[in-house]
Amino acid sequence: MKQILGLGCGNQMKRIFGWLGLLLVAGAMSPLSGLAQTIHGTVRDSMGRAVPFVSLNLSRQGAIIAFTTTDTGGAYVLRLPGGLAPGGLYLEARCIGYNQQTRAVVTLPSTIDFVLGVSASSLPSVVVRNNRPVLRTSGDTLSYRVGDFSSAQDRVIGDVIKRLPGISVASDGTILYNNKPISSVYISGDNLLDDKYTIATNSIPQDIVDQIQVIDNHQPIKVLQNKVTSNDVALNLTMKKTGRIHLLGQESIGAGLPGNYDVNLNALLFKDEYKAINYLKGNNTGDDLQRELVSHNAADNEQRIGNELPATLLSLGAVNDPALSRQRYFFNHAGMLNANNLVNLKSGWQLRLNAWYLHDRQQQDYSQQTTTFLPGDTIQYREVQHNQRNPDVLHTQLTFNLNKPTCYFNDVLLMDDNRGVNYSHLNTNGSLLEQVFRDHSMSLSNECNWIGTVRAKNIIQAYSYISRWAEPEDRTIGPSYNAELFNHGMSYMQLVQHVDVPTWYMNNYVSFKIPGDVLTKSFRAGVSVQSQRLGSGLSLLQSDKTFTPASDSSVNKLSWVRKKGYAEAAFDVPGEKLRLSLSLPLIFQQLSYTDTGYALDKGLSRWYFNPQLSGKYQTGLEHFVSFQYSYRNETGGIEDVYQGYILKDYRTLYANNADLTLRQDHRAALGYNYRQALRLFFFSITMLYHHVVANNIASSVITNSLQQRVVMPYRNSMDSRTINGFVSKYSFRLHTTFSGDVQWQNSREVEIQNGALLPFTTTAITLGLNADTKLNDRIGFGYHATGIRTDSHSPAVASADRIDQLVQQAALYYNPTHDLQFNLSGEHYFTGRGGNAPLTYFFADARVKYHVKKWRMDWQLDALNFLNVRTYDALYLTTNTLTSSSYTLPGRIILVKLLFNL
């Protein structure tokens, strides 16, 4: 009986605990039903005889919450945990030799008698295996044991994660659990990297990780736990003991032909009080190091902060990347020093430094032919480009964090300095041009968030964000580019475009939350101010080295101030069955922008209401329905109102002559998510509807040498519907994770080209299939296929375009001995467009790795693209434009690597 009492005490339980305990100590086994919540009764067989030693298990949603056994007289008393409601409770009687019987518990306390029939079989079907993968669930946490899914050739934990049933990894490294992007990857519960988790998944050795845990409804802020709902899914990596004690490092040094190098030196530490991922990497084998620095939740972060910044305004020209995996086409000379260090102090404070510096020299050779189909006309461009980009990326982030059940503090000081000098030799429609583009973005920001409790349980929050950002851009094109247009037909040296948008931004608010039994009410009030200046000029460097303005309408001196005051009421229901979150913000926005050069002095003051509702209803222990609706009023930014022309690239002149863009954005989503964790089966389906109404529209005037974009005040709308399905299952029989995904997306929008209003419908269907087998420790096999069909159609143009793409990847792993590993992989690309001969490409890679015991080192020989494919041609279809491009590829690389561990 002792164990039943120990299950927990409600208030009622506590009150009667004293004398109930006394009775129990006296050994009273007599029914106490009148005193506490109990279920009692007897168990007899069909002959009416008492059945002793029958197990009686009280369960809810398939999990036992209390149990007892019958005494020698067949009687039982089951004492229940305090505060238990009768709904959804079942009592089952189990005994070997008898049929199992289950009864619903309708009232409490109650008397339930069982009559059990004799059964022939005694024990259930039993699987006689031991080395099967195991998933464990604990509330919102699902745990994968790494050893069950890893194979000998896996190097880092990211190699294992992409093979886990229920998890998929997008091409940019974003990890999705049952098709939902995760918020972060924690390391033994510590947040070292925020959403830049590719740094961790690409560097933590898989053999030091014990478990990969998926945490659903993850609320990282302890003060808010069980009070404010979170739909986030986070991953946590738990380390083996070996990984928690020593400094670790997986080092590799490689050199090869033709003139290639690949170096990766790292030092990792995962102690409870100190965690570090520090490394130095460099290569010219096409491994893009910037892909490790991707912020996977950038859109969410931007929305949280509320500072809308214009993207880089200038470019060297629109260059599509080939639809190959990046390593296949990327020419680089990259080096990166990356340091991520976290210290947990005894006082509960956590200090963190994330800093990196990256330098790269990227080259690209391509030629392109662009065909635009217009009603009654077809326009073609031909270009040959040789581009070189030299990015220098410096990032420093300092974080101070305190996360206690009563108090939360987080301060992030961020400094970014990204600069690049980029060159392009260009041959466009027969004229030879040189372009130089200098781009330098700098930002400094501080985000501070404090949350504390007052009067026992109420929560108070203060938030402050301040930032300064600037990105001077300068681009020169010469000689004598489009002299007809820019210099009355006279030759000149360079066309110089300069633009910069220095920005100040701050956002401050206070909030007060009142948690209740069912509902947490939050009230928030704040102000934000954005102050910008857009300065730009297009000038000519004449042959006599003097500067003259290119035209009188290509100078901008635009000032912009956006002030917002907002008040918000929000309601959170963090229930077990139903989780709801409703936020009702009321915003007053005051905008003003002036440019004396164009006699522009405008303002806009408006109230906005941007409600948002999201929720999750648990239809069972492992399945739920989720829904979301949001309505947002969006106002364009400074890049929507400048009046002077900016030559964005050598083909695009851009100016605005309409009012500020106002958009109303509706989003609705409905999803169903199902899993059977113990059977390793996952399934989800999501439907999304997105509707945007805007008060103006971008219009393009296309001529043979320039494309001029002007914004026209026509009200228009864009609709998009998406259905997304995902299924993943581990087959115990085949030792294989199978997964598949399908997406159907249909979008309708309107474009104006050469004065004609063109509605466009684009439908894209994507199908993905994956199978990953770890047959045993010696043989493994992986197959991935992605097919995309894109149909683009406009009723105004007779032609409808369809592009089919299919990418198949297969890999075979074979380890004949413990010390020898072979890996052979291939990628097949198919691109087809109705009426044309399809393009097919095949790439193959091979790898041999040999472990030298005496040296405790591995030798690795890599043959990348050993079939030596050196050019790639592709077709791209976007609305009514067809682009045919040809790229130079790096060709075969043979690399010898020496690998060793610290």
Contacts with other proteins by CB under 8 A lie at 2-3, 6-7, 45, 49, 52-53, 55, 57, 62-67, 69, 94-98, 118-132, 134-139, 241, 677-679, 732-733
Q: What contacts 639, CB < 8 A, 6 or more positions away? A: 310, 313, 501, 534
Q: C-beta of 779: minimal distance to other proteins in Å?
A: 11
Question: What tokens does 558 get?
Answer: 């635009």
Q: Is 732 helix (H, G, I), strand (E, B) or coil?
A: coil
Cα separations in angstroms, 136 against 66, 176, 182, 214: 20, 19, 19, 10
Give 442: exposed, middle or buried? Use CB within 10 Å, 0-12, 13-18, 19+. Answer: middle
Cβ–Cβ < 8 Å for 842, 828:
yes
- For residue 542, the surrounding DSSP H or E stretch is none
* DSSP labels, 388-412: EEEEEEEEEEEEEEEE-SSEEEEEE
Q: Is 229 helix (H, G, I), strand (E, B) or coil?
A: coil
Q: Measured between alpha carbons, how far is 509 from 528 in angstroms, rounded to an integer?
A: 9
Strand partners, 356: 338, 395
- What single-letter amino acid sits at 605? S
Question: What tokens does 556 get?
Answer: 């901008």
Cβ–Cβ < 8 Å for 811, 782:
yes
Longest dimension (CA), the chain: 116
Question: What tokens does 312 get?
Answer: 């880089």
Q: Measured between alpha carbons, how far is 477 from 436 in angstroms, rounded to an integer?
A: 7
CA geometry: angle at 41 spanning 40 and 44, to 5°?
150
Strand partners, 750: 759
DSSP E strand stretches across 794-838 = 800-817, 820-833
Q: Which is nearer to other proteins, 678 or 800 (CB)?
A: 678
Question: What's the length of the chain?
Answer: 902
Cβ–Cβ < 8 Å for 175, 182:
yes
Chain-centroid distance of CA 815 in Å reads 34
For 406, list phi and psi in degrees, rounded to 5: -110, -15
Q: C-beta of 103: minimal distance to other proteins in Å?
A: 16
Cβ–Cβ < 8 Å for 642, 556:
yes
Q: Measured between alpha carbons, how far is 811 from 826 in angstroms, rounded to an integer?
A: 6
- For residue 484, the surrounding DSSP H or E stretch is helix 483-486
* DSSP labels, 39-96: EEEEEEETTS-B--S-EEEEEETTEEEEEEE--TTSEEEEE--TT--STTEEEEEE-T
Q: Measured between alpha carbons, how far is 305 from 715 in angstroms, rounded to an integer?
A: 29
For 21, list phi and psi in degrees, rounded to 5: -60, -40
Give the count of beta carbons closer than 10 Å to the beta carbon of residue 553.
14
Q: Measured between alpha carbons, how far is 625 from 105 in angstroms, rounded to an integer?
A: 27
